[in-house]
């Protein structure tokens, strides 16, 4: 049973427009969320994160929105650039679990293609 779901395997966006990547989760105990970007043959690169006490976090062209009641988060990229073309992974963790492990639970990823 997948606890973090990215239901869109792929997304194509015109350069300069907004890219919106979505992520849903089922475990209400998750309290920290991250987005990673991955190019082929490379490891995931951290992009942006958000704590469950916030509903928005912004860093340059990237904004993450969190809707706890809907157990949904989204990543907005504005404006989209061809270099943003990559696979984007949503991840969640139980920071306050006290269990001694801070493992990340990942979605399956969404492949973003930004068309010049």
Q: Does 52 bind another protein (CB under 8 A)?
A: no
Stretch touching another protein by CB under 8 A, among 32-40, 53-61, 64-72, 75-83:
32-40
56 C-beta neighbours (distance < 10 Å), count: 10
Site membership for another protein, residue 114 (CB under 8 A): no
In 3D space, the residue among 75, 106, 76 whose CA is nearest the CA of residue 90 turns out to be: 106
CB of 36 to another protein, least distance (A): 8
Which residue number, 61 or 108, has a Cβ lying nearer to another protein?
A: 108
Please say whether the beta carbons of 80 and 11 come within 8 A.
no
Q: Does residue 102 touch another protein according to CB under 8 A?
A: yes
Phi, psi of 99 (to 5 degrees): -80, -5
Q: How near is the Cβ of 42 to another protein at its closest, in Å?
A: 5
Among 19, 80, 85, 93, binds another protein (CB under 8 A): 93
Find the helix or strand (DSSP H, E) in which 74 lies. Answer: strand 72-77
41, 60, 83, 116: residue in contact with another protein (rule CB under 8 A): 41
111 Cβ neighbours under 8 A, 6+ residues apart? 9, 10, 11, 86, 87, 88
Residues that bind another protein (CB under 8 A): 4, 6, 32, 34, 36, 41-46, 49, 89, 91, 93, 95, 99-109
């Amino acid at each position: 049973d997948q606890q973090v779901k990215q239901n869109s395997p792929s997304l194509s966006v015109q350069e300069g427009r907004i890219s919106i990547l979505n992520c849903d989760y089922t475990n209400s105990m998750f309290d920290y969320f991250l987005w990673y970007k991955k190019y082929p043959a490379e490891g995931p690169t951290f992009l942006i994160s958000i704590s469950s006490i916030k509903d928005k976090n912004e860093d340059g062209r990237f904004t993450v929105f969190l809707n706890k009641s809907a157990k949904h988060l989204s990543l907005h990229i504005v404006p989209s650039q061809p270099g943003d073309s990559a696979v984007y992974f949503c991840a969640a963790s139980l920071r306050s679990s006290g269990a001694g492990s801070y493992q990340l639970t990942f979605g399956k990823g969404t492949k973003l293609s930004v068309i010049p």
